[in-house]
Chain A
């Protein structure tokens, strides 16, 4: 019929993979379309049979922002470096929202698709990866809202810093994917992860400068505080968009190093567990 089916079949060798074998990135490339399809399916299905549909992508972050504004902006009057509190918190909620979706969906991705895992071969990395990427759609919607908020409150974006935003987005993705790799692989064997997730998410929110500014942390604790990679991401977003904070300093580099470390160890751990996914899931 077409040329596609007439290719010379290639030989696949199946053998026990020893230790931390290569991540088989070639297969990941061959299956790249599957990542696209998984993300597309996820987005398409997420708000099916809901009354408000895609509006949920707007409502969720806006409601959180309103609650924060009331509690921390109006009642507690936390310092925001002179930025209107709604804009201040929403800027942080952008990467945080992406992280939470990735953390929750990503960690459950292998278990949720166990029928795929036990029946077919495909690079297992695709499942947590596509869960993380699916969060980008909500991120884009929330970004439009942020632009609206900034116009409303007449906050001038930090033009000269805006170009660094992709870097911080990448850092958010690296962190989210790293954590999702660790937790999804762990979840296959220990379903405790499922139960720990809500608590973990909440705890992580407290140690991340989403509702408050990281300037409330005293100088001597700053390095320790920046061990949380999301602190670097959120501070980076505020700096790139609003020009608040000191910009890239030692704390950012600490955060970024931790992010990369989580991703690399996550990949290695995932790879070493991947062999037995189909048997233990």
Chain B
């Protein structure tokens, strides 16, 4: 087997100075100030009072990453936001240079990120195909020979000589995708996180990806969607804070990734002196947590396992008629449900009036409930018709991983926020 990609001790340093975050790009003014103050810093450094700022101005987005990929393999790359996945892909596609280390890549690298780059609204579909093809590194003869295929794939045939600014967004995307899909690179890079477009489009990307893999070409696949990773890759690497911490068969790598949850996410803590217009005495929120079956705080919930929501709070004085609860929203802002700890009449009888003290309201959301995606948890504490003590519509967010949920054998996005495991019976009645 030949090696398609060989990465050795790869490192990428980014500057993150204060000026950068404030202005996005440097201004000459800042540089002038910096230049003038440079001798001062030099003197400080000489007398031993080194300016720490200069050391904090950069961050390693990638550090000492090494791995090889054999030709024809599909490698998954997982990691949290900021783990260095996109930086790695950018270096592989030569958009940016590494600070350290080397990569050798055998063949042309194509990426489904490049969809529509260089498209000009005033040009016709035909002109844009040539333009975009040239940007992606295709020769004119190559575009000529694939032109008909691309037009057919894009399904915009009769509008091919119309300026693309008259296209619907769907047509535009299909045409753009047609060009990228016919680049036929030896190595395909797919960053699903950044992929634009609707579910239909994303599905098309994934479909194209498995085609490419079946043709024996190499694929690198980045996704937050663990079931897609499990479905489409045999092997995966896990990145954490710029370092490669695991390379294993996909199932093992995904398990490792999901179980190495960072405790600070998956939990929301309110400071006692945190000023909030929505808080009124005597109620004081303390913390909100999501816990998995083993009691560990998690920010990614597995659809096939139950999850416990825990809200801790303080009552500085007795309250009557209290109900403490939550809203669940999807990423698009649709409500999934609203529930309170005293919804049950017996519970309300017992806990409607609560003495001062520290409480925790806990509930369990059953397994086989969530569909894949991101959800927001809002919280509310009130006495119905009397007063609202506290509300936060977006107290905590979490991802749902649907590996193993019903229907995941089909690579499609299921509509709707819930994904129940229903008792299906099939009988032959004739």
Residues of B within 8 A of A16 (CB): 97-101
Asked whether, in the complex, the Cβ of B106 is within 8 Å of the Cβ of A11, the reply is yes
Asked whether, in the complex, the Cβ of B28 is within 8 Å of the Cβ of A116, the reply is no
Asked whether, in the complex, the Cβ of B107 is within 8 Å of the Cβ of A119, the reply is no
Asked whether, in the complex, the Cβ of B137 is within 8 Å of the Cβ of A9, the reply is no
Shortest Cβ distance from A187 into chain B, in angstroms? Answer: 10
Q: Which of A1-44 contact B (CB under 8 A)?
A: 1-2, 4-5, 9-17, 30-31, 33-34, 37, 41, 44
Asked whether, in the complex, the Cβ of B105 is within 8 Å of the Cβ of A14, the reply is yes
A120 touching B96 in the complex, CB below 8 Å, given contacts A11-B104, A12-B104, A190-B25? no
Asked whether, in the complex, the Cβ of B26 is within 8 Å of the Cβ of A115, the reply is no
A276 vs B14: C-alpha distance in the bound complex, in angstroms? 10
Answer yes or no: B140 CB below 8 A from chain A CBs.
yes
Answer yes or no: A118 CB below 8 A from chain B CBs.
yes
Answer yes or no: B305 CB below 8 A from chain A CBs.
no
Answer yes or no: B292 CB below 8 A from chain A CBs.
no
User: How many contacting A-B pairs (Cβ < 8 A)?
Assistant: 121
Residues of B within 8 A of A191 (CB): 25, 27
Asked whether, in the complex, the Cβ of B97 is within 8 Å of the Cβ of A120, the reply is no
Asked whether, in the complex, the Cβ of A33 is within 8 Å of the Cβ of B140, the reply is yes
Asked whether, in the complex, the Cβ of B96 is within 8 Å of the Cβ of A279, the reply is yes
Residue of B nearest to A187 (CB): B25
Asked whether, in the complex, the Cβ of B104 is within 8 Å of the Cβ of A278, the reply is no
Interface residues on A, range: 35 or more
Asked whether, in the complex, the Cβ of A48 is within 8 Å of the Cβ of B26, the reply is no
Answer yes or no: B70 CB below 8 A from chain A CBs.
no
Asked whether, in the complex, the Cβ of B98 is within 8 Å of the Cβ of A14, the reply is yes
Answer yes or no: A280 CB below 8 A from chain B CBs.
yes
Residue of A nearest to B130 (CB): A37
Q: Which of B142-171 contact A (CB under 8 A)?
A: 142, 145-146
A190 vs B101: C-alpha distance in the bound complex, in angstroms? 29
A45 touching B117 in the complex, CB below 8 Å, given contacts A33-B140, A280-B25? no
Answer yes or no: B135 CB below 8 A from chain A CBs.
yes
Binds A, one of B85-93, B255-263, B397-405, B421-429: B85-93
Asked whether, in the complex, the Cβ of B131 is within 8 Å of the Cβ of A37, the reply is yes
Residues of A within 8 A of B186 (CB): 9
Q: Which of A60-116 contact B (CB under 8 A)?
A: 113, 115-116
A174 vs B128: C-alpha distance in the bound complex, in angstroms? 30
Q: Which of A4, A10, A117 contacts B145 (CB 8 A)?
A: A4
Q: Which of B94, B95, B105 contacts A118 (CB 8 A)?
A: B95
Answer yes or no: A156 CB below 8 A from chain B CBs.
no
Asked whether, in the complex, the Cβ of B145 is within 8 Å of the Cβ of A15, the reply is no
Asked whether, in the complex, the Cβ of B122 is within 8 Å of the Cβ of A192, the reply is no
Number of interface residues of B (CB under 8 A): 49
Residue of B nearest to A192 (CB): B28
Residue of A nearest to B11 (CB): A16
Q: Which of A173-213 contact B (CB under 8 A)?
A: 189-192
Shortest Cβ distance from B152 into chain A, in angstroms? Answer: 14
Shortest Cβ distance from A11 into chain B, in angstroms? Answer: 5
Answer yes or no: A49 CB below 8 A from chain B CBs.
yes
Answer yes or no: A121 CB below 8 A from chain B CBs.
yes
Asked whether, in the complex, the Cβ of A190 is within 8 Å of the Cβ of B27, the reply is yes
Residues of B within 8 A of A30 (CB): 137
Answer yes or no: B139 CB below 8 A from chain A CBs.
yes
A1 vs B130: C-alpha distance in the bound complex, in angstroms? 19
Shortest Cβ distance from A265 into chain B, in angstroms? Answer: 19
Asked whether, in the complex, the Cβ of B25 is within 8 Å of the Cβ of A189, the reply is yes
Q: Which of B117-147 contact A (CB under 8 A)?
A: 117-118, 120, 122-123, 127, 130-131, 134-137, 139-142, 145-146
A48 touching B98 in the complex, CB below 8 Å, given contacts A1-B145, A14-B92, A192-B28? no
Residues of B within 8 A of A10 (CB): 106-107
Asked whether, in the complex, the Cβ of A9 is within 8 Å of the Cβ of B90, the reply is no
A12 vs B97: C-alpha distance in the bound complex, in angstroms? 13
Residues of A within 8 A of B146 (CB): 1
Residue of A nearest to B26 (CB): A189
Shortest Cβ distance from B302 into chain A, in angstroms? Answer: 34
Residues of B within 8 A of A37 (CB): 130-131, 134-135
Shortest Cβ distance from A131 into chain B, in angstroms? Answer: 15
Asked whether, in the complex, the Cβ of A14 is within 8 Å of the Cβ of B103, the reply is yes
Asked whether, in the complex, the Cβ of A2 is within 8 Å of the Cβ of B145, the reply is yes
Asked whether, in the complex, the Cβ of A34 is within 8 Å of the Cβ of B96, the reply is no
A279 vs B24: C-alpha distance in the bound complex, in angstroms? 11
Asked whether, in the complex, the Cβ of B91 is within 8 Å of the Cβ of A14, the reply is yes
Contact with A along B229-253 (1 / 0, CB 8 A): 0000000000000000000000000
A4 touching B134 in the complex, CB below 8 Å, given contacts A45-B123, A121-B94, A189-B26? no
A18 vs B94: C-alpha distance in the bound complex, in angstroms? 16
Asked whether, in the complex, the Cβ of A48 is within 8 Å of the Cβ of B130, the reply is no
Shortest Cβ distance from A38 into chain B, in angstroms? Answer: 8
Q: Which of B50-94 contact A (CB under 8 A)?
A: 90-94
Answer yes or no: B184 CB below 8 A from chain A CBs.
yes
Residues of B within 8 A of A11 (CB): 104-107
Residues of A within 8 A of B102 (CB): 13-15
Which one of B28, B130, B135, B141 has the greatest number of beta carbons of chain A within 10 Å? B135
Answer yes or no: A122 CB below 8 A from chain B CBs.
yes
Asked whether, in the complex, the Cβ of A41 is within 8 Å of the Cβ of B95, the reply is no
Residues of B within 8 A of A33 (CB): 134, 139-140
A116 vs B93: C-alpha distance in the bound complex, in angstroms? 13
A16 vs B145: C-alpha distance in the bound complex, in angstroms? 36
Answer yes or no: B114 CB below 8 A from chain A CBs.
yes
Residue of B nearest to A186 (CB): B28
Residues of B within 8 A of A45 (CB): 120, 122-123
Top 8 nearest A-B pairs by Cβ distance? A9-B107, A121-B94, A14-B103, A278-B96, A15-B102, A37-B134, A48-B122, A275-B97
15 additional A-B pairs beyond A4-B145, A275-B96, beta carbons within 8 Å, are A9-B106, A11-B104, A12-B106, A13-B104, A14-B94, A34-B135, A37-B135, A113-B118, A116-B117, A119-B111, A119-B114, A120-B135, A189-B25, A191-B25, A275-B97
Can you list 10 pairs linking A and B with CB atoms under 8 Å apart?
A2-B141, A11-B105, A12-B94, A12-B104, A14-B91, A14-B104, A44-B122, A120-B136, A279-B14, A280-B25
